[in-house]
Copies of this chain bind each other. A is one copy, B any other.
């Protein structure tokens, strides 16, 4: 357990959480400030979504990403920047007439999910490695092999590290296929996302089965939603992985107590350190991920 563990803080996500906690950052300025606070609390990486400041809904607008990233880069804290590239995969079907799309659909090609990555060149961006039902109702998250190969190739050309988000065991299979095809630069980086209905559950045996299939030397992290967020920090460390916390995945510090991103990072740090491991600094994270030094 004497090793460096990277803490990613997922600052806000795109979920319908704005009205459920006053701590969920909405405007680019709030998101940047929350990220800076998380970094001060020990986050190695911040994972960034943006929201429409008017509606609070998730957005793909480059200008919002630009403001968040520039504010963080201009601050006096050091942190590795990871922007999502998962937005633009939402297909909402009418269950009784499923070739009709409903409101909420936001579905674009693999490359069209990447303009902010191309402009801002974050250290890392994500790639969601498959399709699945996302929650109840009739929302399908769509990322097909064709889209994913094009997206991966573009990310590789941009020189950005690709974090492959894995929502179920079939996504891991496809991620390994991307690696085998040379579309992912070394070190391959896997984020095993657990407990998101209806992807892989936050079940220790399921995680172990996935980790056993990872290639030797892979860099991987795992997180789980809601009340399993903190137990999963321990679970990931036990199996040799890195960790992720933050308001994207969980709103509570403990039952009944709403958290800030910085508080969630602090609690993760408590677990990391009580288990005898160390929180990786951003520079240590850059070494693990073979990222360019901070400019």
Please report A residues at the B interface, Cβ cutoff 8 Å: 1-2, 91, 93, 95-99, 101, 105, 107-110, 130-133, 135-140, 142-147, 150, 167-174, 197-201, 203-206, 208-210, 212-213, 216, 227-228, 230-231, 234-235, 237-239, 254-255, 267, 270-271, 273-276
Contact = CB atoms under 8 A, between A and B. Distances in A.
Given A99-B105, A132-B130, A275 B140 contact: no
A231 B227 contact: no
Contact of A132 (B132, B216, B239): B132
Contacts of A234: 231, 234-235, 237-238, 271, 275
A133 B170 contact: yes
A141 B172 CA distance: 18
A168 to B, nearest CB: 4
B137 A144 contact: yes
Contact of A274 (B131, B230, B237): B230
Contacts of A140: 131, 140, 142, 144
Contacts of A203: 169, 209, 213
Nearest to A272: B274
Contact of A275 (B110, B131, B271): B271
Contacts of A143: 133
Contacts of A213: 201, 203, 205-206
Contacts of A139: 144
A138 B132 contact: no
A197 B174 contact: yes
* Residue among A110, A199, A204, A270 with the highest chain B CB neighbour number at 10 A: A204
Contact of A212 (B205, B231, B267): B205
Given A95-B147, A108-B98, A174-B133, A237 B231 contact: yes
Given A95-B150, A204-B238, A274-B230, A145 B168 contact: no
* Residue among A209, A227, A238, A254 with the highest chain B CB neighbour number at 10 A: A209
B239 A169 contact: no
A100 to B, nearest CB: 10
Contacts of A171: 198
Contacts of A270: 270, 274
A255 B276 contact: yes
A168 B146 CA distance: 20
